[in-house]
C-alpha cells in the first residue's frame, strides 16, 4: 500500500508535466525544454504570495501563467515554429532565462511552502500525509479532464488531427497557429499547476524544475505523439518503475538501473518487430494478409 | 632576417641535423615547462617590492552555490577592510581580486592560475565545493602560493599550501555524537547525498557512534537533486532510529527535512544533526529546526567583542537579517589569520608566508591559541554547541574548547 501511494504521489507530478509536454509536442512538434522551469514559476508563485490561502495562490499561478505563456508563444515561438530544432532551442533559452530570472529576483536560497492540509490520513491501514493525497488526487483529476477533453471535445479532435497530419488538418480548416498557441498555453499551464501543487512537498529554488525534465522527457519518449493517454501511461510507468526500484534497491543503484531500463524500453520500441507485434495485438490487419 | 631566408631554404637538412634540432626543441620544451613553477614563485610580485599585499579570491558568485560563495566574499571583504583600517600588513595596504568560478573546477584552475601569474597574488582564498577546492589546491601547490578555504568539512587531499579554516568532520562530530547518543538513544541512522564527502562523513560518524556505545542502524544515500525521498525515509523509519545524522546537502537538505517531517520520521523526539541545521537553511526550515542543537565553529551569536563587531558590520553592510552564514565568519577570521602570518613572515614572499601560516599560533574569537596541525592541516580551534531559536538566532549554549583533530593525512608536507 505504501508503494502504491508513493507511485500515485509521484505520478501526479510526472503525469501533469508529461501530459503537458505531450500536448505541446502534439500541436507543435516541439519538445518544450522549459517545462520544468514553468513548474518552478508555479512553485514560486505559491511560495511568495503567502498572504493568500493556498488554493487561491494556485489559481493565481494559473492566472499569471496563462497570459505569460500566450505572449511567449506569440513572441518567441511563432517564427521558429516551422523549424522544430530552432523552436526547441528557443524553449531551452526560455528555461534558462526563467531560472536566471528567479535567481535574480529571489536568490538561489531554497524556500519552503507551508503544507496547506496538515496531518495524516489512514489509507487502508497505512498512514499517509494528507496533503500528498490531496495533491495527487487533484493532479489525477486534472489529467483525467485533459484526456477527456482530448477525446470528447472538438478541440481535442482538432489537436489529434494536427498531431497526425498538420498539413491535412490545416487544409481542412484548422488554423495551425491558433492550435499551437492554445496547446502551448494549456501544456505550459499544466506544468505551472504541477509546480504550484507540489511546492509544499519540494524545496522551492530556481533550479528545481530542471531536475524534473529528465523523467518527463523519458515519458514523452515512450508515448505516441498526439495520443495523450499514452503520455499519461508512460508517466505512470516511469513513476512506478522509479518508486519500485527505489523501494527494492538503494537509491544509487536504483537510479542507474532506472536509466538502463528506460533506455532499453525506448530502444526496443523502435525495433520493427515490436511494432508488428503490438500491431498484431491491436488486431489491425497487416498489409501482407490483406493481399 | 630577410637575407638569411633564401640561404636557409637552400641548405638541405641532414638527418643528423634534424635529430639534433628535435632533441634541442624537446629539451627546450621540457626546460620551459619544468621551470614554470619555479619562475612563478621566484618572481617578485608587487608584494615583495613594497606594493600592496594581494589576495586572490576564487568564489562562485553565480550558479547553484553562489549564495555561500557570496557570503564568503562578504566576510573576506570585511576582514581586509578591518586589517587595512589597522594599518595593513607591515605598513602596506591589503588588496584583493575577486574572480567567479561558478562552482566549476575547470574554471577554478584557470582563474587561480591567472591570479598567480598575472595578478601576482601573495595568497589565494575561497572556493565552496570540494572539487573546486582541490583544483585551486593543486594550482597553489604548483605555484607555491598559500591557499585558504573556509567551508566546513575536510578536503580529500592534503596539500602543502592549502589550509582550511572550516571545522573538520571529526571536529564537528567528536562533541556531537556522544551527546546525541546520551540524549536520544543508542540507535543512529545516517543519510547523505550521494557523493564522496557524505560517505567520508558517514565513515567518521560510524567510528564515533561505536566509541560512544551506540549502533548505526541504517545508512542511506540518494543522488543530488532528489525530489522524492519517500523510499529513503521509509527505510530509515523501519530501522527505528533514535537519531539521524544527515549530510544531505544543498536544496536537498530542505526537501529531505520537509518530507521526513511529513512522513512522521522527523519528530521532536528524534535527534537530528548535520548539514540541514546549518544557518543557510534556517530561513527555509524555520520551525523544523527550532529548539535543536547544532555544532559549529562560529555563529553570529558568539559572545566576543570582535565577533560581535564583525556580525554588526556584516548586517549593516548587507542589510542582513537572517543568521549570518558560518562560512562568512570562518572567512573573516581565516583571512585575518593569513594576514597575521604575512605580518610575521616579514615579507610578501608567498613561500615565506606559507611557512609562517604553518607555524603561527593566534588567539582569536575562534579559540585561544588557534593553530594548524602540521600532520593534516586541520585548524585546531574551539567548537560551539548552538541552540536554534524560533527567531532563527543561533545562540551559543556551550563551548567545547580546542576540539583537536590530529588524524594524519597524506600529502601535507
Q: Chain A contacts of B265, Cβ < 8 Å?
A: none
The answer on pLDDT for B303 being more than 80 is yes
**Min distance A153 CA to chain B CA atoms (Å):** 35
The pLDDT tens digits for B237-265 are 999 999 999 999 888 899 999 999 988 89
Task: State the residue for C-alpha cell 527535512.
Answer: B257
CA-nearest of A148, A111, A147, A115 to A134 is A115
Distance from CA of B222 to the nearest CA of A (A): 5
Q: Give phi and psi for B300, each to the nearest 5.
A: -70, -5
Q: Say if A103 is an interface residue toward chain B (CB within 8 Å).
A: yes
Contact B223 A6 (CB under 8 A): no
- The shortest C-alpha distance from A207 to chain B (Å) reads 8
Residues 6+ apart with CB under 8 A from B47: B53, B54, B92, B120, B122, B347, B348, B349
Give yes or no for B279 touching A (CB within 8 A): no
Question: pLDDT grade, residue A154 (50/70/90)?
Answer: confident
Closest by CA to A2, choosing from B193, B254, B233, B260, is B233
Q: Judge contact between B62 and B102, C-beta under 8 A.
A: yes
pTM, full prediction: 0.81
A111 — contact with chain B (CB < 8 Å)?
yes
Q: For residue B52, is pLDDT > 90?
A: no
Output the pLDDT for position B1: 35
What pLDDT is stored for residue A86 in this prediction? 83
- A-B contacts (CB, under 8 Å): 86
Which pLDDT does position A289 carry in this prediction?
47
> What angle, rounded to 10 degrees, do the helices at A228-248 and A213-221 form?
130
Q: With an 8 Å Cβ cutoff, are A203 and B285 in contact?
A: no
Nearest to A150 by CA among A142, B101, B349, A201: A142
- B72-105 pLDDT per residue, tens: 999 999 999 999 999 989 889 999 999 999 889 9
CA distance A52 to A156: 34
Start-to-end Cα distance in chain B = 51
Residue from A10, A13, A40, A109 to probe the interface with B (highest B Cβ count within 10 Å): A109
Interface check for B227 against chain A (CB to CB < 8 A): the answer is yes
Confidence of residue B413 (pLDDT cuts 50, 70, 90): confident
A127–chain B Cβ distance below 8 A for any pair: yes
pLDDT band at A280 (very low <50, low <70, confident <90, very high): low
Query: What would the mean pLDDT of A116-145 be, rounded to a whole number?
Result: 86
Averaged confidence pLDDT in chain A: 85
Are B194 and A252 inside 8 Å of each other by CB? yes
Strand pairing category for B147-149 and B162-164:
parallel
> Per-residue pLDDT averaged across A13-37, rounded?
90
Binning pLDDT at 50, 70 and 90, where does residue B310 land? very high
- Is A253 near chain B, with CB under 8 Å? no
- A129 near B CB under 8 A: yes
pLDDT value of position B42: 39
Q: Do the Cβ atoms of A112 and B226 come within 8 Å?
A: no
Facing residues of B149 across strands?
A: B164
The stretch B294-303 carries a mean pLDDT of 90
pLDDT value of residue B14: 47
Better-scored residue on pLDDT, B50 or B33: B50
Question: Given an 8 Å threshold on Cβ–Cβ distance, is A208 in contact with B232?
Answer: no
| Nearest-angstrom CA–CA distance, B219 and B200 | 12
Task: Quote the pLDDT of residue A41.
Answer: 92
* B64 near A CB under 8 A: yes
Q: Do A9 and B226 touch (CB under 8 A)?
A: no
Contact predicate A246/B231, CB 8 Å: yes
pLDDT at residue B32 is higher than 50: no
Higher pLDDT, B144 or B21: B144
Report the distance separating Cα B74 and Cα B78, nearest Å. Answer: 6
B171, three cell numbers: 571536529
Q: Is the pLDDT of residue B307 over 60?
A: yes
Mean pLDDT rounded to a whole number for chain B: 85
What pLDDT, on the 0 to 100 scale, is given for residue B64? 72
Report, in angstroms and rounded to the nearest whole number, the Rg of chain B calculated over CA atoms: 25
CB contact under 8 A, B64 and A2: no
Amino acid at each position: 500500500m505504501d508503494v502504491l501511494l508513493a507511485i500515485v504521489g509521484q505520478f501526479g507530478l510526472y503525469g501533469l508535466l508529461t501530459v503537458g509536454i505531450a500536448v505541446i509536442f502534439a500541436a507543435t512538434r516541439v519538445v518544450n525544454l522549459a517545462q520544468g522551469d514553468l513548474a518552478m514559476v508555479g512553485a514560486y508563485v505559491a511560495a511568495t504570495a503567502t498572504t493568500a490561502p493556498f488554493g487561491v495562490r494556485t489559481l493565481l499561478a494559473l492566472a499569471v501563467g496563462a497570459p505569460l505563456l500566450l505572449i511567449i508563444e506569440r513572441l518567441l515561438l511563432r517564427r521558429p515554429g516551422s523549424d522544430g530544432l530552432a523552436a526547441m532551442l528557443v524553449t531551452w533559452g526560455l528555461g534558462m532565462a526563467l531560472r536566471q530570472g528567479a535567481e535574480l529576483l529571489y536568490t538561489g536560497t531554497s524556500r519552503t511552502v507551508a503544507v496547506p492540509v496538515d496531518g495524516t490520513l489512514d489509507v487502508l491501514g497505512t498512514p499517509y500525509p494528507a496533503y500528498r493525497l490531496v495533491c495527487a488526487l487533484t493532479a489525477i483529476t486534472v489529467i483525467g479532464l485533459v484526456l477527456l477533453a482530448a477525446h470528447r471535445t472538438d478541440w481535442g479532435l482538432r489537436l489529434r488531427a494536427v498531431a497526425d497530419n498538420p498539413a491535412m488538418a490545416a487544409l481542412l480548416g484548422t488554423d495551425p497557429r491558433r492550435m499551437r498557441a492554445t496547446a502551448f498555453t494549456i501544456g505550459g499551464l499544466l506544468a505551472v499547476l504541477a509546480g504550484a501543487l507540489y511546492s509544499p512537498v519540494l524545496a522551492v529554488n530556481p533550479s528545481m524544475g530542471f531536475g524534473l525534465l529528465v523523467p518527463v522527457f523519458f515519458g514523452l519518449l515512450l508515448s505516441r505523439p498526439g495520443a495523450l493517454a499514452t503520455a499519461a501511461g508512460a508517466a505512470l510507468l516511469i513513476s512506478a518503475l522509479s518508486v519500485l526500484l527505489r523501494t527494492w534497491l538503494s537509491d544509487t543503484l536504483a537510479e542507474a538501473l532506472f536509466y538502463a531500463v528506460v533506455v532499453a524500453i525506448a530502444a526496443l520500441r523502435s525495433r520493427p518487430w515490436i511494432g508488428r507485434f503490438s500491431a498484431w495485438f491491436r488486431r489491425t490487419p497487416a498489409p501482407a494478409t490483406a493481399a | 632576417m630577410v637575407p638569411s631566408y633564401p640561404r636557409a631554404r637552400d641548405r638541405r637538412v641532414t638527418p643528423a641535423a634534424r635529430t639534433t634540432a628535435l632533441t634541442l626543441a624537446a629539451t627546450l620544451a621540457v626546460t620551459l615547462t619544468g621551470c614554470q613553477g619555479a619562475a612563478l614563485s621566484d618572481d617578485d610580485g608587487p608584494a615583495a617590492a613594497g606594493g600592496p599585499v594581494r589576495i586572490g579570491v576564487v568564489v562562485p558568485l553565480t550558479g547553484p552555490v553562489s549564495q555561500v560563495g557570496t557570503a564568503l566574499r562578504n566576510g573576506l571583504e570585511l576582514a581586509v577592510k578591518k586589517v587595512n583600517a589597522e594599518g595593513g600588513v607591515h605598513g602596506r595596504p591589503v588588496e584583493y581580486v575577486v574572480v567567479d568560478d561558478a562552482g566549476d573546477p575547470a574554471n577554478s584552475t584557470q582563474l587561480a592560475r591567472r591570479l598567480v601569474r598575472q595578478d601576482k597574488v601573495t595568497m589565494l582564498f575561497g572556493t565552496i565545493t570540494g572539487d573546486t577546492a582541490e583544483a585551486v589546491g593543486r594550482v597553489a601547490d604548483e605555484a607555491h602560493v598559500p591557499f585558504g578555504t573556509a567551508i566546513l568539512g575536510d578536503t580529500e587531499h592534503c596539500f602543502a599550501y592549502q589550509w582550511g579554516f572550516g571545522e573538520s568532520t571529526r571536529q564537528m562530530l567528536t562533541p556531537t555524537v556522544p551527546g546525541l547518543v546520551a540524549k536520544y538513544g543508542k540507535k543512529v541512522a545516517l543519510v547523505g547525498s550521494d557523493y564522496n564527502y557524505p560517505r567520508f562523513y558517514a565513515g567518521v560518524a560510524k567510528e564515533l557512534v561505536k566509541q560512544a556505545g551506540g549502533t548505526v542502524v541504517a545508512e542511506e544515500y540518494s543522488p543530488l537533486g532528489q525530489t522524492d525521498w519517500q523510499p529513503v525515509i521509509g527505510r530509515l523509519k523501519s530501522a527505528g532510529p533514535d537519531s539521524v545524522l544527515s549530510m544531505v546537502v544543498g536544496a536537498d537538505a530542505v526537501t529531505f527535512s520537509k518530507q521526513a517531517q511529513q512522513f512522521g520520521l522527523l519528530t521532536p523526539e528524534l535527534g537530528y544533526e548535520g548539514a540541514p541545521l546549518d544557518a543557510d537553511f534556517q530561513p527555509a526550515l524555520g520551525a523544523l529546526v527550532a529548539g535543536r542543537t547544532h555544532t559549529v565553529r562560529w555563529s553570529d551569536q558568539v559572545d566576543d567583542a570582535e565577533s560581535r563587531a564583525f556580525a554588526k558590520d556584516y548586517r549593516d553592510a548587507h542589510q542582513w537579517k537572517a543568521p549570518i552564514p558560518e562560512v562568512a565568519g570562518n572567512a573573516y577570521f581565516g583571512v585575518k589569520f593569513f594576514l597575521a602570518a604575512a605580518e610575521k613572515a616579514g615579507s610578501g614572499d608567498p613561500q615565506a608566508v606559507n611557512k609562517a601560516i604553518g607555524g603561527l599560533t593566534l588567539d582569536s574569537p575562534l579559540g585561544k591559541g588557534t593553530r594548524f596541525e602540521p600532520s593534516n592541516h586541520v585548524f585546531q580551534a574551539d567548537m560551539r554547541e548552538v541552540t536554534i531559536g524560533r527567531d532563527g538566532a543561533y545562540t551559543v549554549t556551550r563551548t567545547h574548547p580546542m576540539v583537536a583533530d590530529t588524524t594524519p593525512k597524506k600529502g601535507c608536507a
